[in-house]
């Protein structure tokens, strides 16, 4: 019985370590994108990218609003979307794999392609300037 509880505790600890393996702050995520891009992020360029259409029907702000410190709503389904800005939603960029998944999906919806590391850095740099 003691062996089973030790195995269970070890499994729980391993699970916790695995889920925190992608844990990152938005600032750390910005540093990673900036390093990948090889150029400094520009918040103004990120705001323009976020609020403009890029040859497709939607912009990022179509669902996330032009003020991403508030809750958004999916343009098609009407499903609520938590705020994008880390000041309003600290968990938004707390998982690197999740951030990549959503950037990939949303950039394809908005731009018809994946965003570059520089574009991700620019958007995140702008989002980090926003306060509640």
**Residue 107 maps to which CATH number?**
1.10.760.10
CA nearest neighbour of 115 among 46, 42, 64, 44: 46
Q: What residue numbers bound the domain in which 125 lies?
A: 24-129
In tens, the pLDDT along 95-115 reads: 999 999 999 999 999 999 999
Alpha carbons 44 and 96: distance in angstroms, whole number: 23
Token readout for 6 is 């030790």
In tens, the pLDDT along 23-66 reads: 899 999 999 999 999 999 999 999 999 999 998 889 999 999 99
81: which strand partners? Answer: 72
Are the beta carbons of 31 and 117 closer than 8 angstroms? Answer: no
Q: Is residue 52 part of a domain?
A: yes
Residue 43 has what pLDDT? 98
Q: Is residue 43 part of a domain?
A: yes
**Distance of CA 38 to CAs 28, 31, 62, 78, Å?**
15, 10, 29, 37
72: number of Cβ within 10 Å: 20
Three-class SS of residue 19?
Answer: helix
User: pTM for the whole thing?
Assistant: 0.82
Token readout for 71 is 């809750």
Distance spanning both ends of the chain, measured CA to CA: 51
Alpha carbons 74 and 59: distance in angstroms, whole number: 12
Total domains in the fold of the chain:
1
Q: Is residue 74 part of a domain?
A: yes
Alpha carbons 37 and 69: distance in angstroms, whole number: 26
Q: 132 falls in which pLDDT band (50, 70, 90)? A: confident
Q: Is residue 16 part of a domain?
A: no
Residue 12 has what pLDDT? 41
């Amino acid at each position: 019985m003691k062996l089973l509880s030790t195995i269970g505790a070890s499994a729980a600890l391993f699970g916790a370590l695995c889920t925190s393996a992608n844990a990152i702050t938005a600032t750390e995520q910005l540093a990673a994108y900036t390093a990948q891009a090889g150029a400094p992020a520009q918040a103004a360029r990120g705001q323009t990218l976020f609020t403009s259409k890029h040859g497709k029907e939607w912009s990022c702000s179509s669902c996330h609003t032009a003020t991403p410190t508030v809750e958004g709503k999916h343009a098609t389904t009407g499903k609520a979307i938590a705020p994008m800005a880390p000041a309003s939603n600290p968990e938004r960029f707390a998982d690197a794999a999740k951030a990549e998944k959503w950037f990939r999906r949303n950039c394809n919806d908005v731009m018809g392609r994946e965003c570059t590391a520089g574009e991700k850095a620019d958007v995140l740099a702008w989002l980090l300037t926003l306060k509640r």
